[in-house]
Amino acid sequence: MEQRRLKSRTEIPEATKWHLEDIFSDNEQWEKEFTHVEKLINEGKKFEGHLADAPETLIACFEWMDDLSLEIEEIYTYARMRRDEDNRDANYQALTDRAGALAVKVSSSASFVVPELLAIPEGRLKEFRTTSKKLELYNHALEDILRKKEHILSSVEEKLLAEVGELAEAPGAIFSMANNADLKFPSIVDEAGKSVELTKGNFIMFMESHQQSVRKEAFETLYHTYEKQKNTWAATLNSSVKSDIFFSKARNYSSAIAGSLDDDRVPLKVYDSLIDTVHEFLPQMHRYVQLRKKALKLDELHMYDIYVPIVPETTMVITYEQAKDMVIDGLKPLGPDYIKILEEGFQKKWVDVYENEGKTSGAYSWGTYRSHPYVLLNHQDTLDSMFTLAHEMGHSLHTFLSNRKQPHLYAGYKIFVAEVASTLNEALVMEHLLETTKDPKTLAYLINHYLEQFRGTIFRQTMFAEFEKKIHSVVEEGGALTADTLSEIYRNLNAVYYGAEVVLDPEIAIEWARIPHFYNAFYVYKYATGFSAATAFARAILDEGEPAVVRYLEFLSGGGSDYPIELLRKAGVDMETPVPVRNALQVFTGLVERLETLLA
């Protein structure tokens, strides 16, 4: 039986690889900057104990911190992205480890700043801010520090927490290496009867197969492989949860979730309201699941039947070149300036396109302030991969516009708003396809895909968010997170979210073991809130045209110059109310109704 294998990195065409030389021309240049940062770290000692001396000293210290931040960002990003090309490469494993250790030293060297700043008498700091025009740049940064006063520790304690930072990253690093570099899956038989190595990159493609036997084998093979190490995955995730709780307690927060949300100044009610609002619409989710079962003509709908397109005759094969054209066409409502930057990204090798042995799975947008954004893909010639390209380029253009408009201090935007730009791109591309598609079967296929985006981004990510809240509560209340406990919580949530129409195959209970986002706690809810905000923006852009585009591009250019809730509110979307989530789910309800009519 013929077997297709995953290509090595050297077999991938150069034209489809990203050009990391735009960060460092070679490893030697990286080493020079590494050495420079080691020296720069020591310059902080001259500021320690002197921040209250004069506004000029405070400004010089801020500038030193910004230089350090700028350079460690480049050092770490380059090393990690090189490692992501092939996680088995020992050289870039070592560079990433060194970069991570240096980042901890950078953090530790500046750990005196915030406690010392907070110790400056209020009147003196106010005098600094009124007499020094240069300090105006730091107003928002200072306000953000001052509002967290009760959660900032002494200089000694802050230094200790910074030193512990490297240990805190261990669970995520261990998971990443085990999941990306060491974990191997057996081969399965594809639709053509060929033996194919199962990978995390092609798993979803098999889950979209129109042969149920292929879906079932891929599903069971993947999860049985994770099941074999279930106690290791549980111990790793448990350590990550305990780390979250340790840091929240150390900083005097009432819970890990409170500490995490405070970083974005997002009220806990936003998180709870998301879960409550999604639960309101679970009957519509169950209605969609029932429609899927009926359309697929299945006596039983299993968890491995969730991804397969309802309209098999219109399965789209979309090459990377076609995907780029579709994304450009779909995003034209954002105007010529946006499209010009998008095309520049495609032409100047921002994107690493194809899967290879050892490459990090999934997709992301990253980069540095002084270079440009980059996108890692594992393109599979599917509609989903085309939307992934649209999604990641949304992140990249958000970064590009923020970097262009904001100083480095405020260029980085919070994750809470990060998912808005990416999801808006997907929404606009989808709306364009729905508008221009005439064939009813293709239209049904696209609506099904759009519904899957709602399912995957609002319902699924909210389920993940609820899982995170529950597992942290277990530990905070003195319980233990064993593999069985994690699987029981996860299985029960699937039962609630998918309803009685789905057979809960036992393998789904271990899915928590393969989700990397759980190692960055209370992150995934932002996908759901971001999707909701993006839906609001998309409707405004398509309905109003240029005025809405101007508001939106100003939002993208805002970076981290204000709190995320405020940036969105200025652009016309208020996430402190349930309205955006409810409105997005009403769009979902309308799509279900439309698909029911098309398939009748």
The full set of domains in the chain, from first to last, is 6-168 (1.20.140.70)
Per residue in 67-108, pLDDT tens?
999 999 999 999 999 999 999 999 999 999 999 999 999 999
Residue 392 annotated among the catalytic residues of the structure: yes
Task: Give the count of beta carbons closer than 10 Å to the beta carbon of residue 221.
Answer: 17
In this prediction, residue 315 carries a pLDDT of 66
Structure tokens at 512: 């928590």
Per residue in 459-486, pLDDT tens?
999 999 999 999 999 999 999 999 999 9
Which helix H or strand E contains 374, and what residues bound it?
strand 373-376
CA distance 3 to 188: 10
| Residue % of the chain over a pLDDT of 90 | 84
CA distance 208 to 214: 9
Residue 599 has pLDDT above 70, yes or no: yes
Which helix H or strand E contains 187, and what residues bound it?
strand 187-189
Per residue in 147-179, pLDDT tens?
988 898 888 898 898 888 888 999 999 999 999
Q: Is 486 helix (H, G, I), strand (E, B) or coil?
A: helix
In terms of Cα–Cα distance, which of 444, 461, 474 is closest to 593? 444
Beta-bridge partner residues of 190: none
Per residue in 387-419, pLDDT tens?
999 999 999 999 999 999 999 999 999 888 988
| Alpha-carbon distances of 149 from 67, 146, 252, 472, 545, rounded to whole Å | 25, 5, 11, 25, 43
CA distance 549 to 507: 45
Residue 422 has pLDDT above 70, yes or no: yes
The mean predicted confidence, pLDDT, of the chain is: 94
CB within 8 A of 179, min separation 6: which ones?
200, 361, 514, 516
Residue 211 has pLDDT above 70, yes or no: yes
Triad 434, 215, 448: Cα angle to 5°: 15
Read off the pLDDT band of 375 (50, 70, 90). very high
Residue 294 one-letter amino acid: K
In this prediction, residue 1 carries a pLDDT of 38
Per residue in 512-550, pLDDT tens?
999 999 999 998 999 899 999 999 899 889 999 999 999
Q: For 232-346, where are the E strands, in sequence order? A: 301-302
Burial 75-86 (b: 16+ CB within 10 A, else e): bbbbbbbbbbbb
Which helix H or strand E contains 367, and what residues bound it?
strand 364-367
Candidate list 71, 217, 392, 507, residue with the active-site label: 392
Residue 383 has pLDDT above 80, yes or no: yes
User: What is the model's pTM?
Assistant: 0.80
Structure tokens at 325: 């054209």
Structure tokens at 437: 């598609």
- DSSP-derived letter for residue 154 is -
CA distance 46 to 30: 26
In this prediction, residue 581 carries a pLDDT of 93
- Which one is predicted more confidently, 449 or 228? 228
Per residue in 575-585, pLDDT tens?
889 989 998 99
Structure tokens at 362: 């999934």
Strands of the sheet containing 351-352, edge to edge, are 351-352, 373-376, 364-367
In this prediction, residue 2 carries a pLDDT of 46
